[in-house]
Chain A
Amino acid sequence: MVERCLRGEEAAWEDLVKTHTRRVYSICLRFTSKEQEAQDLTQEVFLRVFRTVKSFRAGEGSFTVWLTRLTRNLLIDNYRRTKSERVTDSIEDQLPMLEEKTAIESRTDAMLAGREASEVLQGALAKLSPELRETVILRDLEGMEYREIAGALGVPEGTVKSRLNRGRAELARILRRQKVVV
């Protein structure tokens, strides 16, 4: 598909975008927790793919790993750029979060699932550090192999596993504080 894109076939670009949009958007949304921001970042990822696809070498890893690395780098850049904005946002977000918490607390007997659980997870992921967050997203939500994650993040596999353990444990603690898990 990438070779066809490089040859300039428009249909190949369409196939590439259709195949990978869900994955890229999902990573962006899980990382940023904001739909509009995730959409903008997904568009930016594909624009970058379009500009830099020539630098992709099939021998150096799969296209999925290359695309994930590109997405991750863009997310980290965006995370650093919007750091100051998030400080003010977090203060404004405190009131709705408190309301949400009481709503969740009132229904601890029922098991959260589906879209509702997804929203709670979104809030919990946002509390993790970017390193732990990206590892948990790539492994547990995107189902990538340890080797692929190591390639995308540029760290050894051992580091990926260590971050994953810490990320999952931290996530469980956050969810427990919100009383959505026992």
Chain B
Amino acid sequence: MKCTDLEALICDYIDGVLSGPERSTVELHLAECESCREMVADSRVALEFMSRTADVDVPPALVNKILFEVRTGGSAPVRTSKRRWISRFFEPVLQPKFAMGMAMTMLSFAMLGQFTKIPVRQLKPSDLAPAKVWSTIEDKTWRSWERAKKYYESLRLVYEIRETLSDWNEAADGKAVQKPATGKDTASPEKQVDKPIQKRSQSDNKSS
């Protein structure tokens, strides 16, 4: 028989509760196995020493303390359940990993601000006044709206100018194409020469 098979029996053997055949099996094994014999001897030594020790003295105030704790703990079951509900509600936020994540996010923003040179101004308590916050939001909204409106109007003006210019260009091109088709500008060069003469005579009249 192996030592491991006898472990449970050895315990009962030390307790002295084994029947005749089982006891003789253990004794036979102990006669052959030195390590098991040593274990039995050690167990008896330990048991003998433990039997000599004094009982534990309970502090006199402990029972009263426990009863007080139990009473105060029991008198407010609603409070504890409420507290538990609140703690359960905030449980995901109060995790160390969440705190670490928040810290990392803040650090990232701080580093980003540092690199992009975004001016950071210290927040004052007066900045958090509702009236001030509201007026700031209103002002910013109005400014943004006005800016968008101006941008749209400027865009429209530019578009209109471009349209007008392209119309004029088209009109000028149309005239240029029409003239060679009639053949008038090559046939009468005198008429072209006449115009400055006419203009000159008009200016002469005005000066006289």
Using a CB–CB distance below 8 Å, which chain A residues touch chain B?
A: 10, 13-14, 17-18, 21-22, 25-26, 29-30, 35, 39, 42-43, 46-47, 50-51, 111-115, 117-118, 121, 136, 140-141, 146, 157-158, 161-162, 164-165, 168-169, 171-173, 175-176, 180-182
Chain B 1-29, CB within 8 Å of chain A: the 1/0 string? 00010011011100000000000000000
Determine if B67 is an interface residue (Cβ-Cβ < 8 Å). yes
Stretch at the interface among B69-77, B133-141, B196-204: B69-77
- Evaluate contact between B46 and A171: CB separation under 8 angstroms: yes
Q: Which of B12, B53, B63, B70 sits near A117, CB closer than 8 Å?
A: B53
Q: Specify which chain B residues have a CB less than 8 angstroms from the CB of A111 in the assembled complex.
A: 52
Chain A residues in 8 Å Cβ range of B54 = 113-115, 117-118
- Determine if B58 is an interface residue (Cβ-Cβ < 8 Å): yes
Q: A114-B52, A136-B46, A161-B10 are in contact. List 4 more A-B contacts (CB 8 A).
A: A46-B70, A114-B54, A165-B11, A175-B49
Assembled-state Cα–Cα distance A47/B66 (Å)? 8
For B70, the closest partner residue in chain A by CB is A50
Asked if residues B62 and A169 are in contact (CB atoms below 8 Å), the reply is: no
Interfacial chain B residues near A176, Cβ < 8 Å: 45
The residue from B38, B43, B56, B70 contacting A47, defined by CB atoms under 8 A apart = B70
Docked Cα-Cα span, A111 to B45, in Å, equals: 13
By the criterion CB–CB under 8 Å, are B7 and A50 in contact? Answer: no
Distance of B197 from chain A, by nearest CB (Å) = 112
Q: Determine whether the beta carbon of B65 is less than 8 Å from that of A43.
A: yes
Top 6 nearest A-B pairs by Cβ distance? Answer: A172-B42, A168-B43, A161-B11, A169-B42, A26-B56, A168-B46
Indicate whether B103 reaches chain A with its CB closer than 8 angstroms. Answer: no
B52 x A112 contact (CB < 8 A):
yes
**When chains A and B are docked, how far (Å) is the Cα of A13 from the Cα of B45?**
40
On whether the beta carbons of B66 and A168 are closer than 8 Å, the reply is: no
The verdict on B47 contacting chain A, using a C-beta distance below 8 Å, is: yes
How many residues of chain B have a CB within 8 Å of chain A? 34
Contact status A39-B11, CB under 8 Å: no
| Chain A contacts for B46, CB-based, 8 A | 136, 140, 168-169, 171-172, 175
Contact A25 B62 (CB under 8 A): yes
- The answer to whether A165 and B52 have CB atoms under 8 Å apart is no
Residues A43 and B56 in contact in the complex (CB < 8 Å), given A172-B42, A172-B45: no
Whether the pair A13, B43 counts as a contact (CB closer than 8 A) is: no
Residues in chain A near residue B73, CB distance under 8 A: 47, 50-51
* Chain B nearest CB, measured from A156 CB (Å): 10
The reply to whether B42 and A42 form a contact with Cβ atoms under 8 Å apart is no
Evaluate contact between B53 and A114: CB separation under 8 angstroms.
yes
Chain B residues contacting A114 (CB-CB under 8 Å) are 52-54
Closest to A125 in B: B50
Q: Are A173 and B42 CB-contacts (below 8 A) given A43-B66, A50-B74, A165-B10?
A: yes
The answer, yes or no, to whether B59 is at the interface (CB within 8 Å) is yes
Q: Does B39 contact A (CB under 8 A)?
A: yes
What are 14 A-B residue pairs whose CB atoms fall within 8 Å in the complex?
A17-B66, A21-B66, A43-B66, A43-B69, A112-B52, A140-B50, A141-B53, A161-B12, A162-B4, A165-B11, A165-B43, A169-B38, A169-B46, A171-B46
Return chain B residues, CB-CB under 8 Å to A118. Answer: 53-54, 56
Determine the distance from Cα of A165 to Cα of B12 in the docked complex, in whole angstroms.
10
